[in-house]
Each structure stands twice: as C-alpha cells, then as structure tokens.
Chains A and B, each alone.
Chain A
C-alpha cells in the first residue's frame, strides 16, 4: 500500500527534545499509518513516547528526520502559518483523557462545541447553532446540556461534549488520547460504541493508550511503542494472540483477564530478564 494514499502516514520520524548535551532522542524511526474507517491502537507505557507521536502529528513538536502527512499533505515540512491553517481546517481533531481540562469552564457547553466552527469562520450564527445541535445529538449530548457549564456535567457527558466538538469540523482523522480511562464502565461502553459508529462512517482514528487491554477490543490494528521505538505492529488479533516481540508478550501476559493471566509469573520474570539484558 502506498503511503501517499493513507489518511495518516507517519514515516520513520525521529524526535529529539533538549539542546546540545541535554539533547535526548524520544522517537526513533517511528512509522505508522491510518486508513479511512480504521481504528489503529498505539500502545505504550509511560515514557514510551506515545504522546510525542500525537504532538508530532499535530505539528506541535518538530521532527528531526522523517515525515508526516495527513490526507496526502505533509505536516512536517510546513511553516508555522501553514500548520496553523491546517489545524484550523480541522482535518485532524484531538480528544484528551480529561475533558474538564480541555473545555473552558467559563463557556457554556454549546459555545465550546461551536468554537472550532467560529475559528474557521464562513457560517452564519443560525447555521452554527444548527450544526451544534446536530453534532450534539450525534455524539449523544442531550440538547438541554448545551446551556450548561462543564462543571455541571458528569465525566461521561463532558467526554461526549469533547467528541462533539472534535467532530463538528467533520475531521477525517481523530486522535484519541486515553479517551475513556477516566470514565466508569457504562459510560466507557457508550463512548466506545460511539467511536465504532464513527468508524463505520469512514473516520480514521489513532487510539493512544497505555493499556493494550482497553484498546484491543476496538482497534483493527495495533502498534506497540517501547522506549521511542515501534517494537511490533499488525492486526490486533495477531498482536494479542501471537505476539512476537518479548515486550509485547510481556504486555499481553501482564494484562489482567477475567479468565486469569495468559502467562505465569515465571514466564513474565523470564521476559523481564530478557528485556533488561
């Protein structure tokens, strides 16, 4: 498959933080791609660089080598002004773990959802209102909530508001950073169901999480990141049931299962020793 046709193509990117002596490499030749109508899981534990990947895709950190393109257009080669324009067009949208921090507490929910449209401009007040209502409904945000403030909403309601706001510019690519980690089970199920509906409509998603278990059920493909490198990637079923890299085997074997862990303690200890050596 040619990278050019991918909705998101990350090609062998290196990212460094710091200068001169304190310069450290945080991403090492990371590649991944997302096609329309596909959920790709990006799994990494703390310090793996998974959030840096998202920041690089948004153009918030520069890459030292390699390239990123969204919808065929390079993100990395652009000037700041061009990047800003790309963000404003809203092709890529981002949903964070904690929506309380991404919603302005002084704005009503309706105003927050409308903000990306106002930034982009070109619509009348009435058109904006109409679209806000349409996308609120689609994201399962009750219309009476639009006049309320984020602090008056539950965590699940806020996350649905964040999704409505992300969708309103009709993005083709969603970056989701631990979107359900802070929610209870019933709400998690509803958000995940909403995401699978969006997938059916052709939106591509990069689902970033520290927990393979939480992504395995929704992602079509899975990319495992460790210490800034992709150690394994492939169809999720294959990564989960026949992991090749010792780290992936340890991740799968460490995840708690209702049916008991898939590895014994001794097997995990062996993998840890192999990874440390």
Chain B
C-alpha cells in the first residue's frame, strides 16, 4: 500500500554460541522520502538491526527469524552478487568513526573515484568530475584540495562529509546514518544533520537515523522507533511519541532532557501537554 523501500518484520538475531537472542520481534518500515529514527543506548540492538539490514552481521550473529525486504525483495534470497548490487546502490551507510572507513595512504579523491569506476563503470575523467560534484554537494569548501588530501589532513566533520559523499555516490534509495554525528562537536553535528536533510530533499533519499540521543532523532525524523535490550519498546510518528510517550523508558529519556538538558530553559509544548494530561 504505502511506498515502502525497506521493511523489517519480526526480525530475530541470535548469538550463535550462547543461543541468546540479541534482537527480538523488531518490525519497522521505511517509507520513500521519509526519515525514520531509531533511538537506543548501547546494548539496545540498534546497530545489530542495521547490520542485519545491510547483511553485514559478524559471523557469531545470525538472523534466526523474521524477514527483511529491500525494495520489495526479501534479503534472505539474496546471493552474494545481489548483496554487492544492493549495498551502495540501493542502501548507503555512514557510521560513527569516518576515519576508520578510509584508507590512510590513498588520496581521498581517488577513494571516491574508485567506487564510481568499479560500480558505475565511469571513465577516469568522468569519475573525477563526479567526485568533485559530490564533494560540492556535501559542502566541502575546497573540493579540488580535498581531492588531493589524505584522511589525516581533515577534521572529523570533513571526513564524515567525504563518507557521506561516498555513501550517496551511487544514488541509493536509502541512506543509513548510524551514530554518524556522535563523535563530532555539537556545532559540527548540526552542520552534518542539516546536510542530511538537504540531501534527502535533493537526492530523493529515505533516511534511517540511528542515535543514542533522543533529541537528535526528534528534530530530524518523521517516525521514531525506541529500542531497549533488543526489543522495540515504542514506535510511532515522532511528534506523538514525544508528546505522549507510552513506555516508561521513553519517558525517562524525555525527562532527562527536560530536567538536566537545555530543554529545561525552553518553552516546551510537549512537556506542558503531558503535565496537563497526567
């Protein structure tokens, strides 16, 4: 019915040695052009869920139940070739520490060009032009200079822009940002979040934003999933979840912001409404 680009239904991931389930009964849907946020703290299973979606679970974890569908195709039927065709071209992803996904001894421009030449079959000159276009799209101030630089010469925020450029280089339908701004300064985090929203509009992306910080998810996302201990405790439209949290854990996350965070100093209709309701 709705234009779903990614559907996860009753996903269960199990630890192969201990036999314990790490993720249970996880279901959500990413609708084209919308932003889904997954909130959870360490150990909540949010990253395991994302890795299952990307087909990159470590050997010790396996999907033991449920279904994942990307553009209507179940990933359980994917061959290795299907996965290669899917990653980057249908789903792009960026993670917390951009530096560790780049080769320190190859110039940044060349690393982006390599992706374009191998997966899109562009010529050397075409790949260079496209790389510079991508660098401009992610607002790297001096694309020609960055093209010649190495990873250690750039700040964390700039490296994350390079990684985002790579992630969108093949024109994916879905971009997953797993704690992509956690290691960055707050002012830089705001720039990267602005960029993600801009790219969503410009490139027609659907976004999945994973964060431990409810506030990051709140301001960016249409829909929110709250995870804890491998399960979804609450899900729904972001405004509804923030205004009328049903689960005690969601209330804890909200109250922490209201009691000890900046929200304390700003008029907040969500908190007022909840107080009126209780």
Partner-B contacts on A (CB < 8 A): 45-46, 184-186, 188-189, 192, 210-214, 216-218, 237, 240-241, 250-262, 265, 268, 272
Contacts and interface: CB of A to CB of B under 8 A. Distances in A.
B261 A217 contact: yes
A252 to B, nearest CB: 7
Nearest to B218: A258
B261 A214 contact: yes
Interface string B48-86: 000000000000000000000000000000000000000
B262 A240 contact: yes
B215 interface: yes
Contacts of B269: 259
Contact of A237 (B216, B260, B265): B265
B199 to A, nearest CB: 13
Given A211-B186, A216-B260, A258-B218, 6 more contacts: A213-B215, A217-B264, A256-B189, A256-B213, A258-B215, A258-B257
A250 B187 contact: yes
Nearest to A240: B265
Contact of A212 (B186, B194, B258, B267): B186
Contacts of B219: 256-257, 260-261
DSSP majority for the A interface?
helix
Contact of A216 (B215, B218, B264): B264
Contacts of A213: 186, 215, 261-262
4 closest Cβ pairs, A-B complex: A217-B260, A254-B190, A256-B215, A45-B185
A213 B260 CA distance: 8
Contacts of B216: 256
A139 to B, nearest CB: 19
Contact of A254 (B187, B212, B257, B263): B187
Interface residues of B, number: 37
B190 A216 contact: no
Interface string B157-198: 000000000000000000000000000011111110110000
A256 B266 CA distance: 12
Select the residue from B212, B254, B257, B261 with max chain A CB neighbours within 10 A: B261
B262 A185 contact: no
Interface of B: 41-42, 185-191, 193-194, 212-216, 218-219, 242, 252-254, 256-270
Nearest to A186: B252
Contacts of B270: 258-259
A268 B185 contact: no
Given A184-B42, A188-B256, A189-B256, A257 B187 contact: no
A261 B190 contact: yes
Contact of A185 (B189, B256, B263, B265): B256
Contacts of A255: 186, 190, 215, 262
Nearest to B187: A254
A194 to B, nearest CB: 13
B189 A254 contact: yes
A185 B253 contact: yes
Given A184-B42, A268-B190, A46 B185 contact: yes
Contacts of A189: 252, 256, 259-260
